Chain A
Amino acid sequence: MRKHRQRRNRLARTLVAAASAVSLSLLAGCVGEGVDLGPASSDRLVRAAIGGAPDQLDPHQTSSYFSFQVLENVYDTLVEPDENLQMQPALAESWDISEDQLTWTFHLREGVTFHDGSDFTAEDVVYSYTRIIDEELANAWRLATVEEVTATGEYTVEIGVSQPTPNLLTAIGGFKGMAIVSEDNAESGDIAQHPIGTGPFSFRDSRDGDYIWLESNPDYWGGAPAVDGVQFSYISEPTTAIAALRSGEVDWTDSVPPQQVEALSRDQAIALDTLVSTDYWYLAMNQDREPWSDERVRQAVAYAVDRDSIAQVVGYGTAVVNQLAIPETSPWYAAYDRYSLDPGQAQELMDEAGVSEASMDLMVSTDYPETVTAAQVIADNLAAIGIDVSIRTLDMATWLDDQDQGEFDALIMGWLGNLDPDDYYYAQHHSEGPSNAQGYANPDVDELLDAGRQELDEDRRRELYAEAATLIADDVSYLYLYNPSVIQAHAQRLTGYEMRSDRAVRFRDVNLEEDA
């Protein structure tokens, strides 16, 4: 009996040990948690599900779309694009350009305050742009022609440029990466986690990997938002995001895969919208390698690729095929339809070039599954003209490495959020362009792109870019494939939300109806 009791004691000790281990871990789990009841306690809160966590919240440093989905609602720029992507007054009420086109004067809105209560003045504009330029931050290239930024009055700012810069407004207002920040906030480093802006919502709280909670700014210059705030939670799995939307856990999401569009559009409780975006996806062939250096071979590929099939398999009817970069909704659209699916023509061009067979190392990225899908169609298409495609699927980091080192025959990628043609034609197709990995050089194109950079007459500028784009497509510097759609879904009780083709997500004008 005594022995049994001892044993029992030992077993009891085991259990106690196990139990204390568990409770210790639970205790550890509680450390660092506040008693804040969290954002979920308000029913006037817009709950938005986005596809991933922002890397940081400093608008001048981040390049993450998830960050900008949040920051769009926290910050303002001097000017901002309207739904037709035309620049409209924001923190600047008006502006003039000097005769020589080298000085821009911006007249700022008065009475605007930052979320911490401090006044917004010309000094904040000077600080923000100087920070981007002097610290060589991510968007410094957008201000390449800016020589000086000076406050000439409390609410007047002058920007001096080295050459006429027609796209200055797009450069400083195209997206929130050029936001006006608070100097104290930026200098203290708090900006990366607790940004302070002048926008319709102020940062309230966040939990790493979980959510960011914004509160309405009652003093917003554009009028206080009707809702209490916005909670952005990160749901990277689209099926979960849609389940959460259907069960009423979230009010808005853009995690909607194209193949779900049809099923979701039948759900009466959900409003689903698609709108062709200014993003584009393309195939580029390495012109430093044989046989892709021969434009006839590239043109053969252009005739052999079935864009309609690609758009169908990646977009399920939501993507729009395009032979140039920009869709009809953009003011910079130009019509072009030289290439149609024509294997005969493709074969002729291959014969002309004297290439009977070739192998193509086609580089795509798992971070963008649409590139993998498109590559499979293209591989099938090109087999018909004797090109043997091997698809190399990489993560984005490795993909970028190989792109920079020219380690590819061809690649598929997208260019997102396109506003001004200088941004996406010069960088990718000028012989000196920083993103011209395919090694394209056409002096005529260079000349047109150089001229476009300085042409302030909008019609003339549009002609220059249409001409350049035509040459780019003729030479197949890029084989443009399609423009995808922005796809967003929200609960019917969320009203006043406007979807935008530049993918900016603005919640300042929304309202939440009482549950019907």
Chain B
Amino acid sequence: MSAAPQNAAPASQTASSKVLSSPVLRFLARRLLYTAVVLLGVMVVVFALVQLVPGDPIRIALGTRYTPETYAALQAASGLDRPLPVQFFSYIGSALTGDLGVSFRNGAPVTLLLLERLPATLTLALGGLVVALLIAIPLGTLAALKEGGWADGVVRVLSQIGVSVPDFWMGMLLITLFSTVLGWLPSAGYTPFTQDPAGWLSHLLLPAVTVGLVSGAIMTRYVRAAVLDVAHAGVIRTARSKGLRRAVVLGRHLGRNALVPVLTIAGIQLATLLGGVIVVEVVFAWPGLGRMMFDAVSSRDYPVIQGAVLLIAVIFLLINLIVDLLYAIVDPRIRLA
């Protein structure tokens, strides 16, 4: 046992020199640095923005009637009586250690509140993305392969409808049909997977379909365009002329090449969904980040707004990073230089 650290030292030195030489890790290091700078920027901007928005959190918390002493007491308790620069630097300082402060509304640690909401948001975002991909990939490919044909026309009209339909209305329609009329699915609420997998799925279906229909309609267009781009490029003709079977051409050549732009848009869609789908969350009483932010903004709960925006920024940057890495895997021509 005692020998291990001694052996480990030179090994780690080798590893670190290897780190710098590995393009993937160099890429990662650079991107992480870039991420940190962006996050700092996000913090500055969000902090400034919440201060600029009119509306006093203390005033809202106290309701219609209070004494000046009550106001002063709550202001001191929330730390809002300190000068702005002091508030800012103490916020950044604690944020660096993972402490995002406490909610003005109930004194609960913001980090904890965010973690409590994250599961529901992840569930809905991923569920929505799955539905969207299930719609977009077959329909988009079909439309592209039958470019100009009736199938293409139908898909394009459907996707236009999907993009135009308000998700609010779509959610209401689904609730009326599947909850009120048929009684198959619950209309509202959320059940954690760990508590009851069947309940989790039944609660997830309607909101995920609502989110996925809109998102899928957008992605169908991208898939169609991406497949068309590749189909028009020489690669397909070359592959076909080499005598490869149609399925092989579709799967390996067309699919792989079309995957890059689709990955990008899927990544952006996922990040957007994780940022909270406020309307869908409201319609289905889904306890996610979107509703939390909405409530926080109404009550000017600065720490919660700041924490939530920061979390969403982190998620957004992380997904972009993963998408960039996936590019290189999907398309070897793209280098992480």
Contacts and interface: CB of A to CB of B under 8 A. Distances in A.
Contacts of A463: none
Given A233-B189, A247-B187, A396 B60 contact: yes
Contacts of B283: 237, 239-240
B53, B55, B69: residue with the most chain A Cβ atoms closer than 10 Å: B55
Interface stretch (B36-44, B100-108, B212-220, B229-237): B100-108
Contact of B299 (A55, A144, A193, A435): A55
Interface residues of A, number: 74
Given A35-B194, A55-B105, 6 more contacts: A14-B330, A28-B122, A31-B119, A33-B192, A249-B179, A397-B60
Contacts of B65: 141, 423, 427, 434-435
B119 A209 contact: no
Interface in A247-274: 247, 249
Contacts of B298: 367, 395-397
Given A32-B116, A33-B192, A435-B65, A243 B180 contact: yes
Given A141-B66, A192-B108, A33 B119 contact: yes
A101 to B, nearest CB: 24
B156 interface: no
B113 interface: yes
A207 B188 contact: no
Given A29-B193, A135-B73, A209-B288, A14 B329 contact: yes
B63 A247 contact: no
A140 B117 CA distance: 34
Contacts of B175: 239-240, 243
A147 interface: no
Nearest to A29: B119
Contact of A193 (B59, B108, B118): B108
Contacts of B256: 7, 11
Contact of B285 (A57, A237, A415, A434): A237
B54 A138 contact: no
A460 interface: no
B47 interface: no
B119 A28 contact: yes
B189 A210 contact: yes
A208 interface: yes
Contacts of B116: 32, 207-209
10 contacts: A4-B252, A10-B332, A26-B123, A30-B194, A56-B105, A233-B189, A235-B285, A397-B55, A400-B55, A401-B54
Contacts of A367: 298
Contact of A210 (B69, B105, B190, B325): B190
A244 B186 CA distance: 7
Contacts of B179: 243-244, 247, 249
A236 interface: yes
A437 B311 CA distance: 40
B193 A26 contact: yes
Interface of A: 4, 7, 10-11, 13-14, 17-18, 21-22, 25-26, 28-38, 40, 49, 52-53, 55-58, 63, 135-138, 140-141, 144, 189, 192-193, 207-211, 233-237, 239-241, 243-244, 246-247, 249, 367, 395-398, 400-402, 404, 415, 423, 427, 434-435
B67, B106, B179: residue with the most chain A Cβ atoms closer than 10 Å: B106
B191 A38 contact: yes
A17 B323 CA distance: 11
Given A25-B122, A236-B285, A136 B67 contact: yes
Given A21-B322, A193-B106, A243-B187, A397 B300 contact: yes
Contacts of A235: 188, 285
Contacts of B81: none
Interface in B52-92: 53-57, 59-67, 69-70, 72-74
A435 B186 CA distance: 44
A463 B121 CA distance: 57
Contacts, number: 207
B106 A29 contact: no
Contacts of B55: 395-398, 400-401
A404 B107 CA distance: 26
Contacts of B300: 397
A447 to B, nearest CB: 22
B329 A7 contact: no
A253 to B, nearest CB: 11
A418 to B, nearest CB: 11
A104 to B, nearest CB: 22
B118 A208 contact: no
Nearest to B61: A63
A398 B54 contact: yes
Contacts of A52: 295
Nearest to B105: A55
Contacts of A423: 65
Contacts of B180: 243, 246-247
A211 B273 CA distance: 23
Nearest to B183: A247
Nearest to A52: B295
Interface in B1-30: none
A211 B117 CA distance: 13
Nearest to A401: B54
Nearest to A22: B126
B116 to A, nearest CB: 4
Given A36-B195, A244-B179, A247-B187, A55 B285 contact: no
A240 B60 contact: no
B176 interface: yes
B287 interface: yes
Contact of B292 (A56, A57, A209): A209
Nearest to A57: B106
A246 B194 CA distance: 28
B49 to A, nearest CB: 14
Contacts of B67: 136, 140-141, 144, 434
A34 B189 CA distance: 18
A35 B195 contact: yes
Contacts of B66: 138, 140-141, 434
A137 B119 contact: no
Contacts of B62: 63, 138
Contacts of B123: 26, 29
Given A25-B126, A247-B183, A395-B298, A138 B63 contact: yes
B56 A401 contact: yes
Contacts of B72: 136
Interface in B243-274: 252, 256
A260 to B, nearest CB: 13
A192 B192 contact: no
Contact of A240 (B69, B285, B329): B285
A398 B52 CA distance: 12
